[in-house]
Chain A
Amino acid sequence: MKLLWTIQWSDLIKALHELYPNWTNEQISRLIISAEKDLQQSSNEKNDFEFLLLFMEDDEGCVGEFLKGVREQLEFDKNEYIEKIKNVLIEYP
């Protein structure tokens, strides 16, 4: 079955910036590279791509590289937040 759900690579980059305004260009670039791996397609082309493929799981129920990257980024954000709180608590005992 051919999927009809396509967007441009620039749309994905814009979407990530809008959804996660605190993520840096570098962090988002890393996610784009992961997405390229999942789709085996280069994001340099102005091509459309089937974004649903980024949300597929493999035959063991594992998510792809893109969602793994998102997961790691969320984990990173959480740890950064915890560190911030820790520092605040240390400063004001």
Chain B
Amino acid sequence: MGKTSEQLVDVLIDEIVQKNDEEYLTMNITKNTFFEQLTSEKMLIKNRHMRRRITGLLIKDIWLNKLYKIKLIDYVFDYLTKRFDSKIIANEINYNIKDACYRYRNNYEINLFCQILTGQMEENIYHYQMKEFARILQYLIKLCSNISSESVCNLIIRFILFLNY
């Protein structure tokens, strides 16, 4: 899908304005948001310079794997620990996600994820949107008469996220 010139400018601004050249990320321990609750002492976190695409894909994968019943805030660290098979790396990625969320906060999907994790927004906002998208999609599928079993399979694979709703 092509990007509009406005979106391209956003990408440029993200890359130019947001400085991200430190080797380590600074940690401000405030203990009251998701990102700070995991460590109790000051330690150096390697800056992995996460780019927008990787951040977006990681967030998408977290949503895809998360069960509806489990709250996002309770799930992210478990996901990262399983994914990277290490609590230390999970912690590192966690802080890097926080850094990326700040740098790419003008991206809707990244910003929403971050706001849910920091308690500024309800997780239901995300689920409500997905439910509405699924409602439109399901309505259009019903209108469609030329259905073959092969295309049904392809559809389910592509839209598993929507069909969960």
Contact = CB atoms under 8 A, between A and B. Distances in A.
A89 interface: no
A5 B136 contact: no
Main secondary structure of the interface of B (DSSP, over half): helix
B59 interface: yes
Nearest to A2: B151
A64 B1 contact: yes
A92 B82 CA distance: 53
Contacts of A82: none
Contacts of A60: 52-53, 56-57, 107
B109 A70 contact: no
Interface in A41-70: 51-52, 55-65, 67-68, 70
Indicate the size class of the contact surface on chain A: 20 to 34
Of listed B4, B56, B143, B158, residue having the most chain A CB within 10 A: B143
B108 A4 contact: no
A56 B157 CA distance: 12
Contacts of B129: 71, 74
A6 interface: yes
Interface of A: 1, 3-7, 11-12, 15-16, 18-19, 37-38, 40, 51-52, 55-65, 67-68, 70-71, 74
